[in-house]
Chain A
Amino acid sequence: MFTIRFFRRIFVCAGLATIAFTGPVIILAPAFAKTHEVSMTAVETDVTIDGSGEKYAAWTFNGQMPGPVVRVTEGDTVKFTLSNPATNKYPHAMDFHAAEIDFLKNYRAINAGETIEYTFVAKKPGIFFYHCGAPPMIQHIARGMFGAIIVDPKNAKAWPKADREYVLVQSEHFKNPDDVQAMFDRKFDGVMFNGGIFKYHPFVTGGGKLDAKPNERVRIYFVNAGPNEFSAFHPIGEIWDNVYESGNPANKLTGVQTYVVGPGSAATFDVVVESAGAYPLVTHSLTAALRGAIAVLVASPDAKPAPLMPMVPWKVAVPQTEITPVPAH
C-alpha cells in the first residue's frame, strides 16, 4: 500500500514538475511564430527610372519597382494574396523563393479580375527573391515584377547586429518593354539598383546616395532579379566584412572583395567603413555598372536614419531654378 501511494506521489509530483517546466514552453512556442497576411496587387503603370524623370511602362507589385520588401522571421507563416485587377491587361503570378510549396497549384498565373491565395512557412532564414512567373516570365521580370523577402534568423545572435540595413535589387532595363526578343538576346540598355538607373549615384543628375556613419556595420540585402545577367558585387574602397550566401547566417564567408550573385539568387553583405568618405557599391561587370548599377555609400558622422529601400518610388526633384536656355543657331 505504502509503495503504491509512494509511487503515485512520485508520479503526480513528476507530472506537475513536467507541466511546470515544459508547459509554458509548449504553450508559448506557437506564440513566437507569427502569421503575416501579405497582400499584393499587380499594377501595370508607369514608373520613373532615371534622374531626368524618364518614365517606363512597368508591370509592378503595388505600383512600385521593386515591389515592397516583405520581412518575417524564420518559422513564421505567410498568408499571401495576389490580386490582378480587372483593369489590367495581362495575367500575373507570384513565385516566392522563400517558400517550399507546390509550384503548379500556387504559382499559376491568374487573369485580370482574379485573385489567388496561398500559405507557406518561411522555414529557412535568408534574403530571397520574389517575382512574377506568368509567361513570358522573362518579360514580367524585366518589366518590374520582382522584389525581396527577408526571413530574419530566429536566433538574432546568429550573426553580428547590423547598425544600418539596406535592400538592393539589381535588374536589367530594356528600353522597349515589348521587345521580348531583346530580352532573350540579352540586349539590355541599362542596369538598375532598386528600379533606377544610377538611382544612388550622387554625381549623376537626380541621383541620391546611401548613408552610413563611419564604423557602422552596414548590412546590404542584395537580390539579383536579372532576368539574365550575373552580378559581381563589390564595394569600391572597401572589402566585404562578411558575405552570407542566400542571406543565411550559416553560409558565412569572411573578407570577400567581390561576390557573384546569379540571376534569381541573393546574398547578404556586411561592410564596416572606417572613415568618412564615399564607397561605391557596384557590380564589377562594368558594362552593367557603367550603365546604371552603381550605388554610392556615403559615410559621414551626421548620417541620418534611412528606410530599407530609399527612393522607392523615385520622385525626381525638379530644380528650383530654371536654367537659361541656349539661343538657337
Chain B
Amino acid sequence: MRRLGFVVCAVLVCVFPWRGEASALERAALSLTGPDCQRSQSAIIESLEHLEGVAKVEGNVIPDHLLVDHDGRRRTGDELADFLNGLPHLHGRCGAAFMKSCISAGVGINAVYPGSRR
C-alpha cells in the first residue's frame, strides 16, 4: 500500500509540471522591417519554431509582425528579436524588434492572469 502511494506520488510529480507549462506560455509580438522580410518570412518562422521553448509562430495575423507563443521563463521578447537579428542571412535585410506599445498589458495583470503577457 505504501509502495502504491509512492508510485502515485511519483506519477503526479512527473505529470503535473508538464500541465504547469501552460502558465509560462507568453505571446511576443515582433515587428519586422526591411526589404527582405516578406520573402524570408517562412525561413524566419522556421528558425523560430526550432528554438527550444517556442510553441507556435504566426505570421499572417498582424501585417509586418510575427506573433510568437513561447516559454517566457526561457527567453524574453527582446531576446527573441536578438536571435532573429543575429541570423547571418538576414543581416541588414530584415530587422526584428520586440513590439512594446501603449496596449501592452499592465504590471498588475500577471499577478491576476499568469498566462498574460507583461
Contacts and interface: CB of A to CB of B under 8 A. Distances in A.
Interface of A: 50-54, 175, 189-190, 197-198, 201-207, 209, 236, 276-278, 280, 282, 286-287, 289-292, 294, 296, 298, 300, 319-326, 328
A134 B102 CA distance: 39
A293 to B, nearest CB: 11
Contacts of A204: 27, 105, 116-117
Given A50-B116, A190-B112, A323-B24, 4 more contacts: A298-B63, A300-B63, A319-B56, A319-B69
Nearest to A321: B55
A100 B63 CA distance: 47
Contact of B112 (A175, A294, A300): A175
Interface in B37-63: 49, 52-56, 61-63
Residue among B22, B67, B103 facing the most chain A CB atoms (10 A cut-off): B103
Interface of B: 17-18, 21-27, 29, 49, 52-56, 61-63, 67, 69-71, 73-74, 99, 102-106, 108-109, 112-117
B61 A52 contact: no
A290 B29 contact: no
A291 B112 CA distance: 9
B29 A202 contact: yes
B113 A50 contact: yes
A280 B114 CA distance: 23
B115 A209 contact: no
B117 A291 contact: no
Nearest to B74: A326
Given A52-B115, A189-B112, A324 B52 contact: yes
Most chain B C-beta atoms within 10 Å of own C-beta, residue among A51, A203, A322: A203
B99 A203 contact: yes
26 contacts: A50-B116, A52-B113, A52-B116, A201-B105, A202-B62, A204-B116, A204-B117, A205-B25, A205-B26, A205-B115, A206-B115, A236-B102, A236-B103, A282-B103, A290-B105, A291-B105, A291-B108, A298-B61, A320-B56, A321-B49, A321-B56, A322-B55, A323-B24, A323-B70, A325-B21, A326-B73
Contact of A319 (B55, B103, B113): B55
A205 B99 contact: no
A190 B55 contact: no
A250 B69 CA distance: 46
A323 B53 contact: yes
Given A52-B23, A328-B17, A209 B61 contact: yes
Contacts of B105: 198, 201, 204, 290-291
A203 B117 contact: yes
B21 A323 contact: yes
Contacts of A286: 106
A203 B66 CA distance: 10
A52 B22 contact: yes
B103 A294 contact: yes
B46 to A, nearest CB: 12
Contacts of A206: 27, 115
B117 to A, nearest CB: 5
A190 B109 CA distance: 8
